[in-house]
Amino acid sequence: MKPLRPEDPQQLGPYRLVARLGTGGMGRVYLATSAAGRTVAVKVIRPEMAEDKKFRTRFRREVAAAAAVGGTYTAHVLDAAPDAETPWLATTYIPGPTLAEAVADHGPLPVETVLALGAGIAEALISVHAAGLVHRDLKPSNVLLAADGPRVIDFGIVRARDGYELTGSGTLFGSLEYMCPEQATGERMGPEGDMFCLGSVLAFAASGRPPFSGGASAAVLYQVVHGSPDLGAVPEPLDKIISLCLAKDPALRIDPHRLSAACAPGGAEQVLTEGWLPAPVTAAIADHRAAAADLDLLVRTMENTAPGDEAEADDEKAGTYPEPDGASGSGTAFGPRAGAPSVPPPAPAAGRPLKPGHRRVSGRLPVSRRVVLAATAATAVAGGAALVAARRRTDGQAGRPLGPAPEPTWVYRGGPFLQTPAAFNSGTALLKARPGNMVCLDLAGGSRAKWVYEGISLSPTPVLLTYGAAIALGTGSTVIGVDPADGSERFTMDFGQTFQFDQLLGTYDGYAVSVLGASLHRRSADQGVATSTNAVFGVDLTARQAVVIPISPEDVGIPLQPVVTADYFVYADGLRNIAVRNTADGGTLRWRHPVGYDLRPGLAVLGRTVFAIGSELIALDLSTGKLRWRAMAEKGLFASLGAAGNTVYATGTSPYGVYAFNAATGIRRWFCPTPRLNVDSPIAVGPNTVYVPAFENKNGFYAVDTASGRLLWNFTDGRETGVNDWQISCDGAGHIVAQHFDRVYGLPAT
């Protein structure tokens, strides 16, 4: 942090610049404060780049891309002016050194710190990839160390996963020592490339040097593409974990979900607590905080607020958004924030055209992520914790007011609950909560638990009901069966030390379950694990036998979200194909159907039809893979699915809303426009209503009538709980179970 120089700007939009934070390839970064007193980091583009019209276009897209990235472990974009004379971008200010600075000043980090660092950065990449982006420049100087965990910054050369390169083509971007092989050879780089870069970053954190080096640029690039990484100074078990990132073949690299679990089996938030960093680095963070506080105090005691600052402060509170490329006025490239009022632009003064000002972008988007609760962020409460269960709002349907949301018949306080749907059994809902509990709530009155079983794992999937029991995983390769009536343990099956069970995938035949995990290969009984291979297991609960289902290399490391039926295992593989395997004969591949890069996670099966979404909704015959029908999105994507009866439902992103299609013919039945939605959560389908969560979790969820496509009501408790999104489940009778961090709301059937 350095003082401003005479050539530095004093004010940009509503932000008063107070110090220099650093310099990068695209410009300078400043510490600044808003008129409302918020401390931010402002990235200012170099003048010669601002004169380039092509760069302007790329920067505008960079703003949109960076604003789409959310999550706990990234620095959120708050504001931007891509069309100003001096373009700039404002993000959350993170007081703390970069990883590069910390290692340079204090040496390599302890093993426990690097494990926590790996978990946090992996969670950040989950957020980046869920937004459809690839970072492409993950390196130690782009990782900030904060008291509550790392923050991945600088999305200046991100690339959209649709292939659009935000910073041009024909140039080698990134830092040589931290590139991946496909980046070094100029090939297309996908999210797997970020995992290779993460491995290099963790090697640097643990040893003080990158795993690939050389005297000349060409030598470094050769080592990245052809050489073996130098992990000699990396202690165990970090060397094994890092080597899973540094596979030359992108398809064989570990994915961020698995890496986070390997580094922090109990979840990243369990290790990223106070004291995760060594004392010297913690002291450096305190120094950054103190310096920022001193500068803030200095600014507050400077000259009186200049004319017009009050208006800027009001604008900051109102929250306007950027327009699509080529647009003008107060439109938004991201759509209105869920529940926010529509704010028209001010009228121009007589005889003077209105000049576009800076345009504010939303703070974050929720992610399609691994189900882990960030407890450090979850206690944040916006507007108090008072229940706001019945209120009127205006939706996008010609100003029609929403009806009142139903009052909860009961509220259960416990948890924190895992972000998994409820399983329903004989008038009860079965939920999973930390630190490893199965909780049974009566749908008629669930304010007190009917029973609680302790000792299950934090597997991010719902309880399964089969074999006369409520099935969950325990530690290692243990499968636990609980009596769903009284919570007593019916059985515990341990499948030995050669397997590791991570999550339940589904059930079939009334006595078998599918499990995702790892097959462990040991050199000897006393040498521990030598290698591990991702695997899907078919677990026969009657025979007490686990059989490895063969999966292809492109399936390894991807977040499987399959649909398991009596005969088929239906999933999306790592090459964006829909794949179907038999469940009865050990997993023989039945068919694959290529979809493409924009295939969204999560499939639906209704009768004999498989549904998948991306830029189009496709329906495939479950037995043969033959295309039944397809429907194109008008703009944007179909983003999440739900299916019941003879209807398939999908959320759309441009405009936001819910579509209903005839499942047999693909004929569109209706479209219901909504405020901005959390499109990373599936649609919950009831007998007469479908439910979709709002973009910000403090805005709850919306109910849409299945017959008319009319937006009915919005339910929320008004609480902002960080990354802990709403989980909405509905039983066959229409009872609603809505989970929000540490509370469960039972709503009557609608």
Q: Which residues are catalytic?
A: 137
| Sign of the CA dihedral running 50, 52, 58, 61 | positive
CA gap 464, 445 in Å, rounded: 23
CA dihedral 411, 415, 416, 417 (to 10 degrees): -80
DSSP designation for 250: G
Q: What are 77's two structure tokens?
A: 């974009």
Question: How big is the CA angle at 487 (ends 485 and 490), to the nearest 5 degrees?
Answer: 95
Q: Is 430 helix (H, G, I), strand (E, B) or coil?
A: strand
Q: Is 317 exposed, middle or buried (0-12, 13-18, 19+ CB in 10 A)?
A: exposed
228: amino acid identity, one letter: S
Strand ranges (E), 131-253: 133-134, 143-146, 149-152, 159-160
CA gap 723, 721 in Å, rounded: 6
DSSP designation for 512: E
Secondary structure of 672-705 as H, E, C letters: EECCCECCCCCCEECCCEEEEEECCHHHCEEEEE
Contact status, residue 135 vs residue 125, Cβ threshold 8 Å: yes
Report residue 90: phi and psi, to 5°.
Answer: -110, 130
**Length of the chain measured in residues:** 750
CA gap 113, 95 in Å, rounded: 18
Residues 6+ apart with CB under 8 A from 359: 80, 81, 82, 83, 320, 321, 322, 323
CA gap 407, 396 in Å, rounded: 24
Q: What are 9's two structure tokens?
A: 């700007």
For residue 658, list its beta bridge partners: 651, 672
Q: Is 347 exposed, middle or buried (0-12, 13-18, 19+ CB in 10 A)?
A: exposed
CA gap 453, 323 in Å, rounded: 51
Axis crossing angle, helix 191-207 with helix 256-263, rounded to the nearest 10: 30
Residues 6+ apart with CB under 8 A from 479: 471, 472, 473, 492, 493, 495, 501, 513, 515, 539, 541
| Sign of the CA dihedral running 347, 350, 351, 355 | negative
- Determine the distance from the C-alpha atom of residue 78 to the mean position of all C-alpha atoms in its chain, rounded to a whole number: 18
DSSP designation for 420: -
Largest pairwise CA distance in the chain: 86
**Ramachandran category for residue 78: left, alpha or beta (phi over 0 → left; psi -120 to 50 → alpha):** alpha
| Sign of the CA dihedral running 235, 238, 244, 246 | negative
Closest by CA position to 692, among listed 719, 661, 658, 663 = 658
Q: Is 270 helix (H, G, I), strand (E, B) or coil?
A: helix
Residues 6+ apart with CB under 8 A from 451: 439, 440, 486, 487
Strands 499-508 vs 512-522: parallel, antiparallel or unpaired: antiparallel
